[in-house]
């Protein structure tokens, strides 16, 4: 109850990976009063602009309220029967790898778990991937290579205990605002220094002591330079080095690196090295600027190398720290929502792991190798190899690289199912079957934020029309395909208990992810579950990993990797002289299906634009606020020029949010090439090449 005696419900913000707690109070007219939860450990009552405007985004005007088949309203029985029969027939005729699911970090863990179980255990395909592939797959790969598991070592508390925060490839001030505010508060209290490493001068630079505007894609060289400097200054932690392998090889490679590729001055490099080497308590935060790269995994390992060499990991105020974009990107990693993972951080290539999962699920088969990652999945759709595709809570016709090709591929697919809250998306318009799903505040389950804290999302509004929870839709399709007992779920609590029990089996293989301490929660205990950081076992709850120097590799030692700078896949040329960087705005979220409903959020930066340096604007004779055409072989966009020295000469920046629904000429991901990191499969969303001319 609040002070006025009205009932309030604790839930979690549905936007970024900070995972802020919110207090929800229905206003009786279909709306909600939304406040920050003072008791949630992520935000302690604070919310950013997006979270505080959630109440403005709940209107039903654009909601999908009934299933549709080929554009005609249908009942659930017909819609689910069509989905089940078409998937069964496709698998029977063309084999399990002729079908695919493309899902989302917006899914709750329970939804994600059922989707993954249906695909990998019962369809018999690993062709389930997620839009988190575009977000942090390189971090997953880097963690696994170094630590043996996809483990985030630290916690948000470390950000307040550090004396130096390095933000690399992260505009935290706009993309994870509440975390940034926590760091600024720590700076006030203890004088924390902040370094921002980003080709572009962003809002995060406003509070920084040093901004390194490095050349796009040169992070490996920079951190190799740092590793070399660490050794030069005698800062290798000799005690911790016993917990690490590969130090000599990584160091030799680092010493051979040519730092001129960073484009940074000796003065800037020295200032950074002095700060990093001279500060014991360092946290290096990294995000999409590191991950969305053809060398993303190597960038991650170059960062991890520096922390491993100095033993600055697993102790208060230290460590590498990946921040995730979506509310449940971490939950998706944990349930195995990526095409190359099994549930509970088990490995798809490991026969014992597969047998454990298969046995636990009583599944007919679990695939023996990784499925198609997002970019390859949509190429397979375009080539007709995927014949039945189920897209859940994501808009790949806008958000995937080569978005025009992806849109055309989906349009040409034999059978497309879209589960979403609205039919007004570029992707939903291409569906054969549309399934209305419940939205945030109408559905219940759990999410995991960037520091491994599991929080509840809770339903406080009734499901509108015929909308159903995703777990229920997926489970019903599973039952209709003949797997009654495997998908006989009655509630998200039941799914969560099964998932927690599976994690206990996984932990026997020395995996990090273990929430077996939650497997016996009663329905009431699940309903009232307070935020809790994993692992949760009979003997341990939360805390940091690796402080004891033990890792999840076979020999228990971390791996330092020898990684070299590689330039982005595309180089500027006469025909395409500009490097295109894409990213988020402070007040919009993904393809704007929710945030565009808020007039206050839309007022921040109301139209699509292109940041371009004054020298380039002068050379192109652009008038202030001119409309420009941005194009390459993949597509074109018309954007308003914003002439600013926040970007470097030869580089331009455009936000990623606008769609065919909101600004048909501004689908910027149509221009992003599908070049991917060879290890993680994550596409390079920040370094395509384009030409620019006045429109
Ligand atoms: Fe929501 Fe992220 Fe803002 Fe917190 S910081 S209120 S989780 S968008």
Query: What value does the mean pLDDT take over residues 48-74?
Result: 95
Which of 156-165, 533-542, 544-553, 583-592 is predicted with the least confidence, judged by mean pLDDT? Answer: 583-592
Cα–Cα distance between 128 and 119 in angstroms, integer?
7
- Tell me if 493 CB under 6 Å of ligand 1: no
* Residues 311, 236 contacting (CB under 8 angstroms): no
Question: How far apart are the CA of 440 and the centre of ligand 1, in A?
Answer: 14
CA torsion sign for 611, 615, 618, 623 is positive
User: Torsions phi, psi of 449, nearest 5?
Assistant: -90, -175
- Tell me if 342 CB under 6 Å of ligand 1: no
Query: What value does the mean pLDDT take over residues 462-479?
Result: 98
- Tell me if 20 CB under 6 Å of ligand 1: yes
Task: Give 533's pLDDT tier (boundaries 50, 70, 90).
Answer: very high
Closest Cα to atom 3, ligand 1: which residue?
A: 48
* Residues 513, 149 contacting (CB under 8 angstroms): yes
**CB neighbours of 148 closer than 8 A, spacing ≥ 6?**
551, 552, 553, 554, 559
pTM beyond 0.95: the answer is yes
Site to probe by mutation for ligand 1, drawn from 44, 51, 327 as the one with most ligand atoms within 8 Å of Cβ, is: 51
From residue 462, how far is each of 30, 62, 524, 615, 684 by CA, in Å? Answer: 9, 16, 20, 55, 40
- Tell me if 48 CB under 6 Å of ligand 1: yes
Task: Give 630's pLDDT tier (boundaries 50, 70, 90).
Answer: very high
Instruction: Please provide the average confidence, as pLDDT, over all residues in the chain.
Output: 96
Q: What is the pLDDT of residues 248-290, one digit of tens each?
A: 999 999 999 999 999 999 999 999 999 999 999 999 999 999 9
Cα–Cα distance between 406 and 343 in angstroms, integer?
28
- Tell me if 42 CB under 6 Å of ligand 1: no
pLDDT at 3: 43
* Residues 572, 689 contacting (CB under 8 angstroms): yes
383/661: higher pLDDT: 383
How is 544-561 classified by DSSP, letter by letter?
Answer: -SSTTS--SSTTS-EE--
Cα–Cα distance between 17 and 281 in angstroms, integer?
24
* Residues 179, 561 contacting (CB under 8 angstroms): no
pLDDT at 141: 97
Token pair, residue 571, equals 């180089």
Question: How far apart are the CA of 602 and the centre of ligand 1, in A?
Answer: 17
Q: What is the pLDDT of residues 281-331, one digit of tens each?
A: 999 999 999 999 999 999 999 999 999 999 999 999 999 999 998 889 888
pLDDT of 536 over the 60 cut? yes
Edge-to-edge strand list for the sheet holding 445-448: 445-448, 453-457, 532-533
* Residues 300, 142 contacting (CB under 8 angstroms): yes
- How would you label 358-397 residue by residue, b for 16+ Cβ within 10 Å and e otherwise? bebbebeebbeebbbbbbbbbbbbbeebbbbbbbbbbbbb
- Tell me if 323 CB under 6 Å of ligand 1: no
From residue 425, how far is each of 112, 387, 465, 596, 627 by CA, in Å? Answer: 22, 21, 19, 13, 25
pLDDT at 661: 82
Atom of ligand 1 nearest to the CA of 176: 5
Question: How far apart are the CA of 18 and the centre of ligand 1, in A?
Answer: 6
Token pair, residue 580, equals 């295109």
Cα–Cα distance between 694 and 327 in angstroms, integer?
39
Rounded to two decimals, the ipTM of the complex is 1.00
Question: Highest mean pLDDT: which of 22-36, 489-503, 506-520, 658-672?
Answer: 489-503
Cα–Cα distance between 658 and 598 in angstroms, integer?
15
- Reduced to 3 states (helix: H, G, I; strand: E, B; else coil), residue 388 is strand
Cα–Cα distance between 382 and 385 in angstroms, integer?
8
> 433: burial class by Cβ within 10 Å (0-12, 13-18, 19+)?
buried
Cis peptide before 86 (omega within 30 of 0): no
Question: How far apart are the CA of 43 and the centre of ligand 1, in A?
Answer: 8
Query: What value does the mean pLDDT take over residues 511-518?
Result: 95
Site to probe by mutation for ligand 1, drawn from 177, 183, 448, 598 as the one with most ligand atoms within 8 Å of Cβ, is: 177
Token pair, residue 193, equals 């220094």
**CB neighbours of 254 closer than 8 A, spacing ≥ 6?**
224, 225, 227, 228, 231, 305, 562
Task: Give 5's pLDDT tier (boundaries 50, 70, 90).
Answer: low
Question: How far apart are the CA of 647 and the centre of ligand 1, in A?
Answer: 26
pLDDT of 617 over the 90 cut? yes
Q: Angle at Cα 562 formed by Cα 289 and Cα 323, nearest 5°? A: 30
From residue 248, how far is each of 227, 236, 551 by CA, in Å? Answer: 11, 11, 19
In angstroms, what is the C-alpha Rg of the chain? 24
Q: Which has the closest alpha carbon to 640: 653, 627, 650?
A: 627
- Tell me if 54 CB under 6 Å of ligand 1: no
User: Where do we find the tokens 């975390």?
Assistant: 179
Question: How far apart are the CA of 250 and the centre of ligand 1, in A?
Answer: 37
Cα–Cα distance between 64 and 422 in angstroms, integer?
5
Task: Give 575's pLDDT tier (boundaries 50, 70, 90).
Answer: very high
Determine the straight-line distance between the first and last CA of the chain, rounded to whole angstroms.
56
pLDDT of 2 over the 50 cut? no
Question: How far apart are the CA of 173 and the centre of ligand 1, in A?
Answer: 11
How is 25-93 classified by DSSP, letter by letter?
Answer: EE-SSS-EEEEE-TT-TTTTT---HHHHTGGGG---TTB--S-EETTEE--HHHHHHHHHHHHHHHHHH
Q: Which has the closest alpha carbon to 331: 437, 449, 175, 444?
A: 449
pLDDT of 602 over the 60 cut? yes
pLDDT of 424 over the 70 cut? yes
Atom of ligand 1 nearest to the CA of 22: 6
Task: Give 6's pLDDT tier (boundaries 50, 70, 90).
Answer: low
CB 233: neighbour CB atoms within 10 A?
A: 12
Token pair, residue 250, equals 């990584």
- Tell me if 13 CB under 6 Å of ligand 1: yes
Question: How far apart are the CA of 458 and the centre of ligand 1, in A?
Answer: 16
Site to probe by mutation for ligand 1, drawn from 37, 50, 204, 450 as the one with most ligand atoms within 8 Å of Cβ, is: 50
Question: How far apart are the CA of 166 and the centre of ligand 1, in A?
Answer: 21
Token pair, residue 612, equals 């371009």
pLDDT of 372 over the 50 cut? yes
pLDDT of 178 over the 70 cut? yes
Task: Give 29's pLDDT tier (boundaries 50, 70, 90).
Answer: confident
Token pair, residue 231, equals 């050794």
* Residues 516, 507 contacting (CB under 8 angstroms): yes
Closest Cα to atom 4, ligand 1: which residue?
A: 20
Cα–Cα distance between 374 and 197 in angstroms, integer?
28
- Tell me if 176 CB under 6 Å of ligand 1: yes
- Tell me if 43 CB under 6 Å of ligand 1: yes
Query: What value does the mean pLDDT take over residues 433-439?
Result: 98
**CB neighbours of 465 closer than 8 A, spacing ≥ 6?**
63, 64, 65, 66, 436
CB 240: neighbour CB atoms within 10 A?
A: 20
**CB neighbours of 520 closer than 8 A, spacing ≥ 6?**
497
The alpha helices in 536-620, defined as continuous H runs, are 599-602, 614-619
- Tell me if 656 CB under 6 Å of ligand 1: no
Q: What is the pLDDT of residues 93-108, one digit of tens each?
A: 999 999 999 999 999 9
From residue 577, how far is each of 376, 470, 651 by CA, in Å? Answer: 28, 45, 9
User: Torsions phi, psi of 37, nearest 5?
Assistant: -90, 110
- Please report the domains of the chain, with CATH numbers, ordered by start residue: 9-57 (2.20.25.90), 68-135+328-488 (3.40.50.740), 137-323 (3.40.228.10), 578-694 (2.40.40.20)
């Amino acid at each position: 109850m609040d002070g006025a005696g009205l009932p309030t419900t604790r839930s979690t913000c549905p936007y970024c990976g900070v995972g802020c707690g919110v207090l929800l109070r229905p206003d009786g007219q279909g709306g909600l009063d939304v406040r920050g939860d003072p008791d949630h450990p992520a935000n302690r009552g604070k919310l950013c602009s997006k979270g505080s405007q959630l109440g403005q985004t709940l209107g039903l005007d654009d909601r999908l309220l009934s299933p549709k088949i080929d554009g005609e309203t249908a009942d659930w029985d017909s819609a689910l029967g069509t989905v089940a029969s078409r998937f069964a027939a496709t698998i029977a005729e063309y084999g399990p790898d002729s079908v695919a699911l493309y899902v989302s970090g917006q899914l709750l863990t329970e939804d994600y778990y059922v989707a993954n179980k249906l695909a990998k255990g019962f369809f018999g395909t690993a062709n389930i991937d997620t839009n988190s592939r575009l977000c942090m797959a390189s971090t997953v790969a880097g963690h696994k290579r170094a630590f043996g598991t996809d483990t985030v070592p630290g916690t948000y508390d470390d950000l307040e205990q550090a004396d130096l925060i390095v933000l690399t490839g992260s505009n935290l001030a706009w993309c994870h605002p509440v975390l940034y505010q926590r760091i600024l508060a720590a700076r006030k209290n203890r004088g924390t220094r902040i370094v921002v490493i980003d080709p572009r001068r962003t809002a995060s630079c406003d509070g920084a002591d040093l901004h390194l505007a490095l050349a796009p894609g040169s992070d490996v060289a920079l951190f190799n330079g740092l590793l070399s400097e660490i050794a030069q200054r005698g800062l290798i932690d000799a005690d911790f080095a016993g917990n690490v392998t590969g130090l000599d090889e990584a160091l030799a490679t680092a010493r051979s690196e040519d730092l001129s590729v960073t484009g940074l001055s000796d003065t800037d490099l020295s200032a950074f090295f002095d700060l990093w080497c001279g500060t014991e308590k360092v946290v290096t935060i990294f995000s999409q600027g590191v991950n969305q790269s053809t060398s993303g995994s190597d960038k991650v390992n170059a960062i991890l190398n520096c922390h491993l060499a100095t033993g600055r990991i697993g102790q208060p105020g230290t460590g590498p720290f990946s921040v995730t974009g979506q509310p449940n990107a971490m939950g998706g990693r944990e349930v195995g929502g990526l095409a190359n993972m099994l549930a509970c951080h088990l490995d798809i290539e490991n026969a014992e792991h597969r047998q454990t999962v298969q046995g636990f699920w009583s599944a007919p088969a679990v695939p023996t190798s990784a499925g198609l990652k997002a970019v390859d999945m949509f190429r397979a759709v375009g080539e007709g190899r995927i014949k039945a595709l189920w897209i859940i809570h994501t808009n790949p016709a806008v958000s995937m690289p080569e978005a025009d090709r992806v849109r055309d591929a989906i349009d040409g697919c034999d059978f497309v199912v879209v589960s979403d809250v609205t039919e007004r998306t570029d992707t939903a318009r291409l569906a054969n079957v549309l399934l209305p799903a419940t939205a945030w505040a109408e559905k219940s389950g759990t999410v995991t934020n960037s520091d491994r804290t599991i929080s509840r999302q809770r339903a406080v509004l009734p499901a509108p029309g015929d909308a159903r929870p995703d777990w229920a839709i997926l489970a019903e399709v599973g039952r209709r395909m003949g797997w009654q007992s495997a998908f006989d779920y009655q509630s998200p609590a039941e799914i969560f208990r099964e998932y927690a029990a599976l994690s206990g089996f996984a932990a026997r293989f020395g995996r990090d992810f273990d929430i077996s301490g939650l497997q016996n929660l009663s329905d009431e205990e699940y309903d009232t579950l307070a935020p809790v950081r994993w692992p949760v076992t009979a003997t341990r709850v939360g805390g940091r990993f690796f402080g004891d120097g033990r890792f999840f590799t076979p020999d228990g030692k971390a791996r330092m990797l020898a990684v070299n700078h590689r330039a982005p896949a595309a180089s500027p040329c006469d025909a395409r002289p500009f490097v295109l960087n894409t990213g988020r705005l402070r007040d919009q979220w993904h393809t704007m299906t929710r945030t565009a409903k808020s007039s206050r959020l839309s007022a921040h930066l109301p139209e699509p634009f292109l940041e371009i340096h004054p020298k380039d604007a002068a050379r192109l004779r652009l008038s202030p606020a001119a409309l420009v055409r941005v194009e390459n072989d993949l597509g074109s966009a018309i954007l308003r020029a914003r002439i600013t020295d926040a970007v470097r000469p030869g580089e331009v920046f455009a936000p990623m949010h606008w769609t065919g629904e909101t600004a048909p000429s501004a689908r910027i991901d149509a221009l992003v090439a599908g070049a991917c990191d060879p290890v993680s499969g994550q596409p390079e969303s920040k370094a395509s090449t384009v030409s620019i001319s006045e429109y």
